[in-house]
Structure 1
Amino acid sequence: MSTLTEWLRARDDGALARLLGARPDLATPIPADSTVLATRAGSRASVVRACESLDTFTLTVLDALLLCDADTRTVALPEVIAMIGAKVPRKRLREAVTTLIDLALAWGPEAALSVAPAAREAAGMFPGGLGRYSPALDGRDIPAALAELSEPERRLLTTLAEGQPTGRTKDANVLVSLADAKSPVQKLLARGLLLRLDAETVELPRQVGLALRGPNPMGQVKFTPPPVQTTAHKLSTVDSTAAGEALELVRHTETLITLWSAEPPAVLRSGGLGVRDLRRLARELQADEVRSTLIAELAMGANLVIATDTTSPQWAPTTQADVWLAATPPHRWATLAAVWLDLPRLPGLAGTKDPKDKVIAPLSEEVRRPLAPAGRRRVLGALGELPPGTGIDSVEELAGLLAWQAPRRGGRMRDELVVWTSREAQALGLVAFGALTSAARALLEEGPAAAAKRVAEAMPQPVDHVLVQADLTVVAPGPLEQTLGYEINLVADVESAGGATVYRVGEGSIRRALDAGRTSTDLHELFRTRSRTPVPQALTYMIDDVARRHGRLRGGAAMSFLRCDDEALLAEVASSPTGARLELRKIAPGVLVSPVPLADVLEELRAAGFAPAAEGPDGQLLDLRPSGLRVPLRQRPKSGTLPRQPSPEQLADLVSSMRAGDTAASTRRGRTVALAAGSGADTSATLALLQEAASQGRSVFIGYVDAHGTASQRVIEPTRVGAGVVEGLDSTRSETHRFALHRITSVSLVDEG
């Protein structure tokens, strides 16, 4: 029986690279040699992690190997076949065994298979749903004993054989003889066909379970994934539908930034966003709280909003929000989609209750789940295996498929994760009609830049015109060009959004545009040149009327002043309660001054029914509206993540390092020079020994610590020693390596005798 270490050492470099790629936890830190790799591969924690990637059938084959005691002896493949049952195709069984061997969960030829002892711990108490072995039944004719049982007794044993091998009963509290036994449980305990675990628990012995299952020792083995109903759609339809969702996502995120710029919500004392603030956000977005939570989580994940570091923390936009707002819609969407894909949080948890029966708030630490990105990629990966444009009809069927593919992954919320991910992917425009979009495939395979390009192709082209209606509404038949969109949003309010956005023009919105420095001529020109429909006379009159009243009263900072050619209007302002509150006083014909800042003066006068405008030193109108709160972006501490998948180049280096370690471990050492830690000794002795080996063409064994602090051992033949560097050929004489002399901890001549 070969050990795991011996088997790994005999594997070729390609097989070891595949193993380290499939189980990245084995590669961190770099294993010194095959012995270290085997120790890690056989540890319980690593075996449990590797089993999480196995499908239901492969786990069943692993259970069969354990039931054959492959962790204590070698097992031939025919024994495993007999345990699995005759209905399972031999090809499928061999594929599962090959998977276990590739993952180093099993090793050896088909005639002598072995399993890591830790696999029994990872499999649980009852592999294959069978109880433990009972030595008391050795030598007994189990079928004959079963034939003597009454119908109630046999029915009880059959129930345990088909499900869990343990059961609870009140009849196990006292052990009695067969003659005194009254209930089926007591009779079976007396016969030894049941085992008593405690006063209320019994267990079905493995021998009895195997006898009851007959030709199917492992029960009904599921060796194929469950069927999933799919529907084929045109890929262009999928992409265009998802593009509409992408635009809605971008618009909602813009609305959140605008809302929280003006009125940032408070951070809860326990962290997160309060219920009232979430409901207010949902009203502004005209969406439900689930979608509003997702938008808020994405904004925080993209660093568009953060909690301020103040005495009373608030959720406020960052300077990064301005950079995001300046980008094109496809790039804004790609940023949010990439953030969601790697977001170590589960927005779906918000609104549910924690173990203490407390509601989990959005943006709180309770939503953090480091494994969330892996779960999202599993769901999208399953959809990506379907032909382009083909969608899954039922999320529940998708959850069932993923549960079969990895039954030990996902924990108690495994199926909920699939539902949440599917819902969020649809809201982000990554999935439509249950099918993965072209942009989503590009995001997974190439990155955000390629995804932005794909979604831009699917989005409707920006339009350069609007349709002004007689009821003073403005219809945008598609996404507006960036400049036109800014102007229309300035002069009109959004009434409804979607494929076609409807705006409404009112006195307040016109005044907003005038406050921003637009003139009535500018607004007339905007609607005249950009509207494909005639401009209603009512809109023309409204613009002229608001403009006629707007700006007649002008203010300036002195602390502030008001000037007006209409002395009667100026006198009315000065004599009003608001004028008294602002301490306005006349300093010249047509001029009033106030100690109150200009922005406050204008706000008070507008609230009192006047229509003042601000002007600069050159007499031009100024836009004094606040630009919104912004806070500088802080660097967040990085949370712990799972080991990353090594690249092919890194895997090759890892295998090469391990081979060198194996060679070093089997090399006999001669004269040695070692540098004691903290001794302060120079490297002269090390240098002398290396130069001696180079001149004589001898190999040396060196201990080396790289720049990352990782220690390794190598056998090299020095070819050049000098300038603080040692160059030498490795033990295979196929590659030259360079080592910094000050990082060498020990040098030994290889004993060639």
Structure 2
Amino acid sequence: MSGTTLAEWLRSREDSALVALLRARPDLATPPPADTVVLATRVGSRASVARACEDLDTLTLTVLEALLVLDADQRPVRIEDLGRLFDVDVRPAVDVLRGRALLWGDDDALSTPPASRDAVNPFPCGLGRSVPSLADADLSVLGDDERRVLTALAAGPPVGQTKDAAHVVSLAGARTPIQKLLARGLLVRRDALTVELPREIGLKVRGDRPLGDIRTSEPPLSTVGRDPATVDSTGGGAALELCRHVEGLLNGWSEEPPAVLRSGGVGVRELRKVAKDLAVDERRASLLVELVVNAGLVADSEGAEPEWVPTAQADTWLSAVPEHRWATLAQAWLELPRLPGLIGQRDDRDRLLNPLAPELNRPGAPRDRRRVLEALAALPVGTAVPDADELAAVLAWRAPRRGGRLRDELVRWTVEEGTAVGVLALHALTAQGRTLLSEGPGAAAKRLGDALPAPVDHVLVQADLTVVAPGRLEPELAEDIALVADVESAGGATVFRVHEGSVRRAFDAGRTAADLHELFRAKSRTPVPQSLTYLIDDAARKHGRLRGGAAGSFLRCDDPVLITEVAVHPAAERLELRKIAPTVLVSPYPLAEVLDGLRAAGFAPAAEGPDGRVLDLKVGGRRIAGKGRRRSPVPAPPSDEQLGELVRLVRAGDQAASTTGGARVSVPGHLGAGPSATMALLQQAAREGRSVLVDFVDGHGTAARRVIKPQVVGGGVLEGVDVSYGEVRRFPLHRITSAALVEGEGPGGVEV
């Protein structure tokens, strides 16, 4: 039985099949192959075969290994022989392998690339190398101890380490089961410490299960139905919580940026501070840190003492509506080329892995993350998968060669992080998460806006000085409440607490007692408690009695007694306050520092401007220039038209290679556009109306190839019809590196 070569088989395929091949195995198209022989060489290379196997499911991969068991890499085999090894129909798997050119030929002559054995598995299906003389070996004479050894090796892998392999003794002198099997020739000695079970013996031991234990269908996946509206609203709540935490992180790092570790990343102490300030655990704090950097909201200042500082993009983000804030963060997580799940673990040198550490970089992480989400997106809307381990098992069956040692952990981390980001909720994909995958962040933001309840324009003030927001507040109201109260708990309803410090903060920002009374009177659906009124009025009486201005700085007060009290306080000496009038003190220090020192001493001063109005001296926080997101360099996939053009060029290369009367002439680049053999060849083609396969370098320095029917050759330019597109193109002659006449043309150009 003989079969065609891989190059011949590829040459006989339809253009659509070759386009599909290049789509499934994009590495074959870079750089563009000159002809089918070059394409076949790439198809059969070990690295390309190994890469193509990454997307094969367990059954298809097992079919490929079974072909290697039948030595299809050495001689063609029949599909009937392959089918006898399985109890399911293998034709669909065979078609997949053919589509990826991991298998070629008709059903009666199937072949695999010779590199498949090394690329897929040196011991396919757990079976050793073939020893044809053992095909008729009799195993009935073996003892139980010998059978146990054969059974263990037949289960795979078929090699074992043993000291008994050092010497092969006669059967009479054998003492151990290994020695007896070596003496019988049922084991093969590979070296002084290694024995191998031949393929023929392994198949005999396995009996009616020649390929061992294989799973021919993906494992079951337990699912639960959820109300889609509940899933979306729960995810919306998580999205708002995420935005609130990121806002808190940005505000905190604006005031106190953490240092960049010498090895990169954020230190343990700084991470714990973030977790404490935001009232979250360290695992969530780590994810937040990774997100703000990948989203471009925080960057390394790269100074003499580098720090992690918010960028100018942070201000744009902070001013955006919640749904757009979330979309920015969700897209940053989806594209994150790192594994936050590794944070807290130790590397090979037993060093702790910190947030933003370079050891977390994984260029393939976005692809693996998207793969998990797309598996959930393939389920009906509202379908939840409560057990992440079951999802990991399904994905492992679909692509067992993907993910490496962290394959299953990647699934669990994606589910956990996706829930924190709001892409998942209640173990199901949210509508905004589904939209993010298919349509991008803009459409996802709109979808989240539809899922979120309408902003509320009121609050509920309680007698214990708490303020309850029964939903997300209108932006202006949210800003006012955040100024006068601190968040105590968040969720579907946010609870704020008003206290003397928060009221004083509002006064420092320029609000008056009348402003705060009107705010609560107009926006509270419950009666304003008297205790809140007293708190505001009491803070207002003490606030601003001291007035500061820039001298360095000065303090003034209509009450000479209070000025005297400040002047004799120990803080006055530290601030170098000096009385220049009964109601005026001055200091060489900046006003903000003086006011902070007096507030720490128990006074309640306020800053004033030249017109006597209260000023807000709060520092807006440090900012540095944005540096963009950390993205993996994933090029856009080529279109079908581009791949079709590449296939046409491969066909043209085949035609040129088979030319019997033509010549191929290479031209060194320094010859320019002067008379040359190439120009003579192009002029001949123009006179005779023939097509030419032209290699050239375009204006970007990229090598390319086209089939051209020359019309004009001269003046340093080749002008002709590009037969692939039917349009006239011009090529500078000095950019043409080689040309060859094309034989066997039809009316539409090159005959393929």
TM > 0.5 between the two? Answer: yes
Letter matched to residue 738 of structure 2? S
Q: Partner residue of 2:46?
A: 44
Question: Which 5+ residue runs of structure 1 have no aligned equivalent?
Answer: none
Inter-CA distance 750–277: structure 2 relative to 1 (3 Å threshold): closer
Moved more, 655-664 or 68-77: 655-664
Q: Residue 249 in 1 paired to residue 242 in 2?
A: yes
Q: 2:696 aligns to what?
A: 704
Aligned match of 2:136: 141
Matched, 1:76 2:78: yes
SS in structure 2 at match of 1:306: strand
Query: Are the equivalent residues in 1 in contact too, given 2:659–2:741 (CA < 8 A)?
Result: no
Residue 586 (structure 1) shift: 3.7
Instruction: Supply the AA of the counterpart residue of 1:39.
Output: T
1:368 and 1:141 map into 2 onto residues whose CA distance is 54
Assess if the C-alpha contact under 8 Å between 1:578 and 1:608 holds in 2.
Answer: yes
Deviation at 1:506, TM superposition (A): 0.9
- From 85, 94, 97, the counterpart of 1:97: 94
Q: Equivalents in 2 of 1:582, 1:315: separation in Å?
A: 31
Displacement after TM superposition at 1:159 (Å): 2.5
Q: Give the C-alpha shift of residue 299 in structure 1.
A: 0.7
Maintained 8 Å contact 2:166/2:192: yes
When residues 549 and 222 of structure 1 are mapped into structure 2, their CA distance, relative to the original with a 3 A threshold, is: same
Amino acid across the alignment from 2:382: G
Whether 2:376 is the aligned partner of 1:383: answer: yes
Is 2:5 aligned against 1:3?
Answer: yes
CA contact 2:128–2:198 (8 Å) conserved in 1: yes
What letter is aligned with 2:305?
S
1:126 pairs with one of 123, 128, 135: 123
- Conserved 8 A contact 1:669-1:750: no
Residue 185 of structure 1 aligns with an amino acid whose one-letter code is I
The match for 2:34 is: 32
Matched, 1:659 2:651: yes
Identical columns (%): 60
- Secondary structure at the counterpart of residue 106 of structure 1: coil
Q: Does 1:17 align with 2:19?
A: yes
* Matched residue SS, 1:249: helix
Partner Cα separation in structure 1 for residue 188 and residue 663 of structure 2: 64
Q: Residues of 1 paired with 2:78 and 2:709: CA distance?
A: 44
The CA distance in 1 between the partners of 2:520 and 2:630, in whole Å, is 50
Deviates more, 1:670-679 or 1:538-547: 670-679
Counterpart selection for 2:495 from 488, 495, 502 = 502
1:287 Cα deviation from its structure 2 partner: 1.5
Distance change in 2, residues 1:499/1:690 (3 Å): same
Counterpart CA distance in 2 for 1:32 and 1:351 is 50
Could you tell me whether the CA contact under 8 Å between 1:664 and 1:713 is conserved in 2? no
Q: Tell me the SS of whatever aligns to 2:165.
A: coil
The one-character-per-residue Cα deviations of 1:99-130 (angstroms, maximum 9, x if unpaired) are 00000111111111110111111122210111
Q: TM-score scaled to structure 1, two decimals? A: 0.94
**2:543 aligned partner:** 550
The answer (yes or no) to whether the contact 1:669–1:701 under 8 Å persists in 2 is: no
Check the 8 A contact 2:652/2:742 in 1, yes or no.
Answer: no
Q: 1:715 aligns with which of 707, 710, 715?
A: 707
Query: Cα distance, 1:669 vs. partner?
Result: 6.0
Indicate the residue corresponding to 1:113 in structure 2: 110
**Residues 364-388 of structure 1, C-alpha deviations (whole Å, 9 max, x = no match):** 1011111111110111111111111
Corresponding position of 1:372: 365
Q: Are the counterparts in 1 of residues 336 and 630 from structure 2 also a CA contact under 8 Å?
A: no
**1:32, 1:712 within 8 Å by CA — same for their partners in 2?**
no
Q: How many residues align?
A: 743
Change (3 A) 1:316 1:163: same
Secondary structure at the counterpart of residue 234 of structure 2: helix
CA distance in structure 2 between the aligned counterparts of 1:22 and 1:58, rounded to whole angstroms: 15
Partner of 1:59: 61
The letter of the residue matching 1:464 is D
Task: Give distance in 2, aligned partners of 1:309 and 1:733.
Answer: 51
Summarize the Cα distance change of 1:696–1:126 in structure 2 as closer, same or farther, 3 Å threshold.
Answer: closer
Of 160, 166, 176, the residue aligned with 1:167 is 160
- Three-state SS of the structure 1 residue aligned to 2:237 is helix
In structure 2, distance between residues paired with 1:400 and 1:413: 13
**Alpha-carbon distance in structure 2 between the residues aligned to 1:645 and 1:541:** 66
- Residue type matched to 1:186 in 2? Q
Q: Deviation string for 1:524-549 (max 9, x for gaps)?
A: 11111111111111111111111121
Letter in 2 for 1:678: H
The 2-side partners of 1:669 and 1:579 are apart by 103
- The answer as to whether partners of 1:47 and 1:118 remain within 8 angstroms in 2 is yes
| 1:189 matched residue in structure 2 | 182
Match of 2:750 in 1: none
- Distance in 2 between residues matched to 1:122 and 1:129, nearest whole Å: 15
**Distance (whole Å) between structure 2 residues aligned to residue 124 and residue 132 of structure 1:** 12
Q: Is the 8 A contact 2:127 2:202 kept in 1?
A: yes
Normalised by the length of structure 2, the TM-score is 0.94
RMSD: 2.3
| Structure 2 residue matching 1:107: 3-state secondary structure | coil
What code does the residue aligned with 1:108 have? Answer: G
How far off is 1:158 after superposition?
2.1
Cα separation, partners in 2 of 1:394 and 1:673, compared to 1, 3 Å: closer
Structure 2 contact 266–354 (Cα < 8 Å) conserved = yes
* Equivalent position amino acid for 2:107 in 1: E
The separation in 1 between residues aligned to 2:718 and 2:434, in whole angstroms, is 48
Are the counterparts in 2 of residues 663 and 714 from structure 1 also a CA contact under 8 Å? no
Of 572, 577, 586, 1:593 maps to 586
Superposition pairs of residues 152-551 of structure 1, within 5 angstroms: 152-551=145-544
**Residues 1:522 and 1:742: Cα distance change in structure 2 (over 3 Å):** farther
Any conservation in 1 of the 2:656–2:740 contact (CA below 8 Å)?
no
- 1:465-521 Cα distance to aligned partner (Å, 9 max, x none): 111111111111111111111111100111111111111111111110010111111
What is the rounded CA distance, in whole Å, between the counterparts of 1:528 and 1:730 in structure 2? 77
CA deviations 1:381-426 (Å, max 9, x no partner) are: 1111111111112111111111111111110111111111111111
